Structure 1
Amino acid sequence: MDLHSKATSIKGIGPKKSVALNKLNIDTLEDFLFYYPRDYEDRRDLRKISSLQDGDLALVKGKLILIVKGKVRFPRKQTLKLLVQDETGAMEVVFFHAAYLEKTLKKDEEYLFYGKVSDNMGRIQMLHPDVSKSEDSSEQGILPIYPLAGGITQSEMRKWQREAQKQLSEMEEYLPENTLAQNRLCGIRHAVENIHFPQDKKRLMEAKYRLIFDELLFLQTGLLMIRNRMTAGKTGIFFSPQAKVDEFLATLPYQLTGAQSRVLAEINSDMESNKVMNRLVQGDVGSGKTVIAAAAMFKAAKCGFQAVLMAPTELLARQHFDGLKSMFSVFGLKVGFLSGSLAAKEKKAVLEQIESGALDLIIGTHAVIQPGVTFSNLGLVITDEQHRFGVNQRAVLTKKGQNPDVLVMTATPIPRTLAVILYGDLDISIIDEMPPGRQQIITRAVKANGREASYEFVRREVKKGRQAYVVAPLIEDSETLDARSALGLYDELKNRFFDFSVAFLHGAMKQADKDRIMQEFYAGEIQILISTVVIEVGINVPNATIMLVENSERFGLAQLHQLRGRVGRGEEQSYCILISDGGSKVAEARSEIMKATNDGFLIAEKDLELRGPGEFFGMRQHGVPELKLADLVKHIKILKTVREEAEKILSEDPLLQNEAHLSFKRKIDKMFQNVENLNI
């Protein structure tokens, strides 16, 4: 056997167990070694029976002096009761449905029992403890607890891990010697041995640190290599410094904020260099990202290049098109719109204008990346709401030009530390300042008993001529979930607000119907819009001043903040009302954070703390591999060290071609192999 031998080469792993192991992504002996425990049990200290207390987790060695079979009527179960004794006293051990033990346990022999101690009317008792022969040293020490599947037991998994560890001597060290020495890391064999069967807690911590460091180093090095590959050997478009955006900015009815000016200067610097721009612009809802994108598009057009802006929904693309067409009309720039819903004749005309260069600026949905779209002279690519697009889609769009500059905009605030990871191939600019005079949205959190008063408040606001959103977590009523549905609310509220225009919107509707309803809401023809989270991102209705969220406990912090961002876009005071039917302490904490701040970046940090990175981002949808041990919040200090190490390694060997780096490179390739379009 060797590290690449199949798991089935271990005695006891047949076809059925092999299927179960495949669910855990274990196919080879090496996979076993890198399948980490989720926890540990400290079974180093043997306890005397006389010292046991109710609630203790303990390892006891004792002689089996009595075996009694029995039955319990309700529920009907067979029982096996054991009386176990050591030199200090006796305890009762009880198993249900344990016929297999009856055949293996023998009276007057010594066994090890590990489990939780309970006090049963003055008698010391263990229910369903782990049991093994007293001479079995494999069930003593600090033992790993693994995530399991398909009927595999902890005892089996430990046994197989020990078999796999017999091949550990073959494992080669893949980190460079300098990296190991400068970061005081233990060797890989020591780490793998002690992550599974640590001799003590000190060695366990050494092993964990090494393997966490490795995961973060593979991730950071891989992302930096992707970034380098995107720009290596590529000469970007040189946009002349003579093409000033001042002319465009002078037409705006307001001054840019300091943050907007800073970000625009960073974009200008990129565009006026020979390198390919790959920049992420992060800004909270309403911080003014669109005008920065418009300024970049203006510069591209003034230099004779086409610019394209891709939005995730037709609604948002239409809104951008209307706004930009109005902004650029005074300059004679031609702005076109492309989406899948255009009539064939209209689409054909737009495609011809794009190819001929008659259109300077093109706004659209994912239709702009379809094979039939050919640009005359594409110089700038902008994607809005990047988290709605795969990395692959952005790559397809950039291939439609000769190394065009790329600008990615997102209104989803991401803690900067995480943004460095998730957008490792992009430079990051942050608009962390709101335009002056923008009113803070007042947020209220109420229980179910405040629902009536909340809807009366909605009535008073709508009577003043304002508009309101009402959001529910479900489209239709559910038998399994106790939550309000948008359809149920629509039936209820169209009667309650019979004197107003009430409409219903959800994601399963045809795009044309969604667009029609949103257009009517934008025009003020609909006063109360009941919806699912389909309205979470994008549209701008300045007259909407109320966001009422039903069952707010069912939404994440980032989602609630995005929903709140749909209001507060006009001059009138806006409100966000969160109605909760109860929920966990985490749900209550979310409501308190929403009441306390409107700062999207602070909210993102809190959301990350509450949910953890795995849930905060389905990381694969961002084109980032899953991590097994590393936690991007808890291990932020290690992450910073790792980033510097990755940069140092690549500065010496950009493609990891040196002999000392080949094993390291293979590990990175393996980490990224299942991530779409991110092969190193």
Structure 2
Amino acid sequence: MNSLDKNIQFVKGIGPKKATKLNKLNIFTIKDLLYYFPRSYEDRSNIKKIWQLEHDEKACTKGIISEVKSYEAKNKIKVTKFTLRDETGFLNVVFFNQDYLTKVFKKGDSVIVYGKIKREGGFLEMNSPQIEHFTNAQTSTGKLIPIYPLTYGVTNKDIINTIKNIYTNEKVSIQEYLPKDIINKYKLCSIDFAVKNLHMPQDKQSLKIALYRMIFEEFLILQIGLFYFKSGIDNSEGIKFEKKEKLNDIIKSLPFNLTNAQSRALNEVIDDMVSENMMNRLVQGDVGSGKTIVAVLVLALSVLNGYQGALMAPTEILARQHYESLTQTLAPFDINIDLLVGSLTKKQKEKVLEKIKNHETDILIGTHALIEDNVEFDNLGVVVTDEQHRFGVRQRAKLSTKGNNPDILVMTATPIPRTLALILYGDLDISIIDELPPGRQPIDTRAFESKKRDFIYSNFVRDEIEKGRQVYIVCPLVEESEAIEAKAAEDLRDELKEKYFSDLNVEVLHGKMKPSLKDKIMEDFKNNKIQILVSTTVIEVGVNVPNATLMIIENAERFGLAQLHQLRGRVGRGSHKSHCILIYSSKTNVCKERMEIMEETNDGFKISEKDLEIRGPGEFFGTRQHGIPELKVGNIFKHIKILKLAQEESKFILKQDRNLEKSEHILLKQEIVEKFSSINKEISLN
């Protein structure tokens, strides 16, 4: 009997208490643990002579214990010291409050140690290292050692020993789910070999072979799943729109000229629309680059062809802003626009739903309310999704099912590195708006330690207010709940009002407020009735106040770089010079590096590349939020060549077998369903 589904608590050395701690790492069965891969490896296979050891390096060495000392230091800490010798020199190995070690290791024992070297007064020393008797079966030294992500009460050694016990005492056999022709084509090892050597590599070459197999497999499953669940690999037959002269009239009526980048993106979209194939295009551009007008013109072309259009935004504030923008631009051309959001009354909703069904509404704008079952379009031609990464796979797919193969345009103001776009949007053509409209000035960004906070509020803020400008202050990101974030914002408003700005109108904006109150506050801020707006990240997208010229972000180290850049983009929207001040408390090198990046560049693409590099693709968007399975070993920076191979193979597979119905694809299909359904329970392959 294969024991992969066996409860982890019944594995030798675990038991109920340790199992509870492993459960925190989502490890419940033997299979869960086998697929809990190391985050890195330490090469302890290079055993150095003592004379080769250098100050501050981590190293592995072996020797004979020539002396054992145990004593109590002045601070009552018990010190245990072993002196190791080999033919080249001596090394002191020191442990604190571990005097039991004198019963385990004796004078004359041959031992191997791994740790950080210190040179103190001419003597070499290693504090609290890994130490084992030198045999042919070390578990923590003398070999490649896997390093696992841990939780309180679970050590790296616990996991290493448990996996060793599993392979010693259990019947472990993982069924191969990749087709034989793929394994042969890409010279992949078996899944059994890969999993075992990721945990217990025989040598560096075995680890390399195992990693290649798992990385390729992860990318392949991810790409097939994304191609399948989104829009498929083939360009399905779509609506063949016609170019309309009236669209040029709308463009001429705009109070500004399109930039070259906007015109290029618009032409790429129109070329897709007039073709026979269904459009799947991503338009991405930096903060303030003017993506919205492209969406407006695309929706207008759909209406001019006799179809309806839909625009889905992640927040009500952004949906309302789109509604105002489209109404202002398109109403003079007899295009009817409606808004469908959660805050409408039942009667208002019913009226909008009736108008959509009867084609009295040409363009419907809204939040995820657009994908509810009672929303019926008469003739949907184009679907636009704004801030694409904020919607799950199922949500995005469901909107497009409300028409007969409508064209799909997705937009994001979060510049996505091309490498990540390959994964997330492998089935979409990509247009990039990489040019800011005339008059947009770069935002001067400066980072200050929190000890300068008083100086910032007393000087920078006062200076801007006295010039007649307005200020955003973003309160620290609090992850626990929206309610706690709301409280944090209110507390910050009260503190600032009391300590610095008793003479000014300081207001607060957060996600727990009623939409009507949010709208009133934003309207008052736009009209300069409020000088300082303290806000949570609710203002990250969709707020446009040209007179706001200063953005202060408290505890900036708690935000991702891409989010800091998004927040910063709320200023610099008018003709006045704008500034962003980042206040941080952390003293880590990563924090310093991130603050320097924000000071150095206003280029969202450079920032997002760096953000992805620092945090990895999982955290960049939040894989669960985005609807993609987690990459456990694959890294799109290091493994871009493997990613491209897997992407081509996934297209080839689906071209031959669209529904993965061939016998050689059945097990692969099951694996894909399992990986994706763990993210989004409501999707399944037909």
Instruction: Bin the TM-score by the shorter chain.
Output: 0.7 to 0.9
* 1:278 paired residue number: 280
Could you say if the C-alpha distance between residues 651 and 229 of structure 1 is closer, same or farther in structure 2, counting changes exceeding 3 Å? closer
Which range moved further: 243-252 or 574-583?
Answer: 574-583
- Secondary structure of 1:612's partner? helix
Could you say if the C-alpha distance between residues 539 and 99 of structure 1 is closer, same or farther in structure 2, counting changes exceeding 3 Å? same
Could you say if the C-alpha distance between residues 91 and 590 of structure 1 is closer, same or farther in structure 2, counting changes exceeding 3 Å? closer
CA contact (8 A) 1:473 1:486 kept: no
- Secondary structure of 1:202's partner? helix
Q: Amino acid of the residue matched to residue 113 of structure 2?
A: Y
Separation of aligned partners in 2, 1:106 and 1:553: 46
Deviations 1:288-339 (A, max 9, x none): 1111111121122222222222222222222221221121221122222222
CA contact (8 A) 2:309 2:363 kept: yes
1:427, CA displacement in angstroms? 3.3
> Is 1:432–2:431 an aligned residue pair?
no
> Is 1:410–2:409 an aligned residue pair?
no
* 1:2 paired residue number: 2
Aligned pairs for 1:63-462 within 5 A: 74-75=75-76, 105=104, 110=109, 112-116=111-115, 128-135=128-135, 137-139=137-139, 140-149=142-151, 151-165=153-167, 170-171=173-174, 173-229=176-232, 235-242=237-244, 245-446=247-448, 448-449=451-452, 452=455, 456-462=459-465
> Is 1:557–2:561 an aligned residue pair?
yes
Could you say if the C-alpha distance between residues 100 and 12 of structure 1 is closer, same or farther in structure 2, counting changes exceeding 3 Å? farther
Equivalent residue for 1:675, pick from 676, 679, 683: 679
1:260, CA displacement in angstroms? 1.8
Q: Amino acid of the residue matched to residue 286 of structure 1?
A: G
Q: Amino acid of the residue matched to residue 525 of structure 1?
A: K
**Structure 1 residue runs without a partner (length 5+):** none
Q: Amino acid of the residue matched to residue 20 of structure 2?
A: V
1:411, CA displacement in angstroms? 1.0
Give the root-mean-square deviation of aligned CA atoms.
3.8
Could you say if the C-alpha distance between residues 200 and 277 of structure 1 is closer, same or farther in structure 2, counting changes exceeding 3 Å? same
* 2:505 paired residue number: 501
Which range moved further: 175-184 or 420-429?
Answer: 175-184
1:545, CA displacement in angstroms? 2.6
Q: Amino acid of the residue matched to residue 40 of structure 1?
A: Y
Q: Amino acid of the residue matched to residue 15 of structure 1?
A: P
Separation of aligned partners in 2, 1:511 and 1:464: 31
Q: Percent identity?
A: 48
Separation of aligned partners in 2, 1:207 and 1:434: 46
Could you say if the C-alpha distance between residues 401 and 597 of structure 1 is closer, same or farther in structure 2, counting changes exceeding 3 Å? same
Separation of aligned partners in 1, 2:250 and 2:318: 23
Which range moved further: 315-324 or 642-651?
Answer: 642-651
- Secondary structure of 1:430's partner? strand
Separation of aligned partners in 2, 1:154 and 1:591: 33
1:518, CA displacement in angstroms? 0.4
Deviations 1:611-651 (A, max 9, x none): 33233221221111111111122322332233223323333
Which range moved further: 372-381 or 120-129?
Answer: 120-129
Separation of aligned partners in 2, 1:651 and 1:349: 44
**Structure 2 residue runs without a partner (length 5+):** none
Could you say if the C-alpha distance between residues 601 and 84 of structure 1 is closer, same or farther in structure 2, counting changes exceeding 3 Å? closer
CA contact (8 A) 1:613 1:633 kept: no
Which range moved further: 204-213 or 657-666?
Answer: 657-666
Aligned pairs for 1:596-607 within 5 A: 596-607=600-611
* 2:19 paired residue number: 18
Q: Amino acid of the residue matched to residue 284 of structure 1?
A: D
Deviations 1:541-563 (A, max 9, x none): 22323323344444332122112
- Secondary structure of 1:250's partner? helix
CA contact (8 A) 2:380 2:403 kept: yes
Separation of aligned partners in 2, 1:438 and 1:123: 62
CA contact (8 A) 2:62 2:134 kept: no
CA contact (8 A) 2:85 2:91 kept: yes
CA contact (8 A) 1:422 1:622 kept: no
Separation of aligned partners in 2, 1:527 and 1:548: 14
Separation of aligned partners in 1, 2:313 and 2:409: 12
* 2:35 paired residue number: 34
Q: Amino acid of the residue matched to residue 594 of structure 2?
A: R
* 1:608 paired residue number: 612
1:277, CA displacement in angstroms? 3.0
- Secondary structure of 1:336's partner? strand
Could you say if the C-alpha distance between residues 556 and 75 of structure 1 is closer, same or farther in structure 2, counting changes exceeding 3 Å? farther
Could you say if the C-alpha distance between residues 34 and 657 of structure 1 is closer, same or farther in structure 2, counting changes exceeding 3 Å? same
* 2:491 paired residue number: 487
- Secondary structure of 2:253's partner? coil
1:126, CA displacement in angstroms? 5.7
1:455, CA displacement in angstroms? 5.1
1:211, CA displacement in angstroms? 2.2
Equivalent residue for 1:587, pick from 582, 588, 591: 591
- Give the TM-score, by structure 2 length: 0.85
Which range moved further: 50-59 or 2-11?
Answer: 50-59
Could you say if the C-alpha distance between residues 409 and 106 of structure 1 is closer, same or farther in structure 2, counting changes exceeding 3 Å? closer
- Secondary structure of 1:58's partner? strand
Deviations 1:576-632 (A, max 9, x none): 333455643333333333333322212211222333323322122111111111112
Could you say if the C-alpha distance between residues 237 and 449 of structure 1 is closer, same or farther in structure 2, counting changes exceeding 3 Å? same
Could you say if the C-alpha distance between residues 149 and 320 of structure 1 is closer, same or farther in structure 2, counting changes exceeding 3 Å? closer
Deviations 1:56-75 (A, max 9, x none): 63343546986x77666745
Separation of aligned partners in 1, 2:504 and 2:158: 66
CA contact (8 A) 1:439 1:573 kept: yes
Equivalent residue for 2:534, pick from 507, 530, 535: 530
Separation of aligned partners in 1, 2:323 and 2:53: 74
1:352, CA displacement in angstroms? 2.7
Could you say if the C-alpha distance between residues 331 and 5 of structure 1 is closer, same or farther in structure 2, counting changes exceeding 3 Å? closer
